[in-house]
A and B are shown apart, each in its own frame.
Chain A
């Protein structure tokens, strides 16, 4: 059974703190993604990575950074958390081949982050 896991389901942090969200997948997928989900806004892509040490900005990268040191692990970093980063964060992975199901993204359970 394919699996994407995230380090925490719920997290409460203070403004200005550095926050690390971790995501691990066991499907040997090359592509990994970080989204945030807010009511009425759907899923918005923050960053994605198509290989180890590679990263690309998504639609809303400001205030975030990422790290991909190993194929199975993709970390999202909030350098200095702010209240407007309170959200649900979802990690996903997919295979690199469009013709072999690369359009199917597998999501983790999400981390609900509250910044106070």
Chain B
């Protein structure tokens, strides 16, 4: 149980285009989803927290107009990187959390974004 998937696993896009990454909780309802970014040889950095049906809360330094997050249902959250630039190339990881018990977080496999 508690499986989180991401799609796509890898994406290459040209500078200036937008890319959408999907995060799904496959066997549970996720009231909260988190988006992390990880640069090579660095730790995971939290970008934003989203609750189903409400606006995402962004961490300091993360541009909300550049990283659009939609959490329209209890099993799906999307991250859209708008007008991507090479410096946005990174490993993006989502995490989903149930709304009950110990509020455990479950992680997706990650999406490798390369902007050329």
Say if A and B assemble together: no
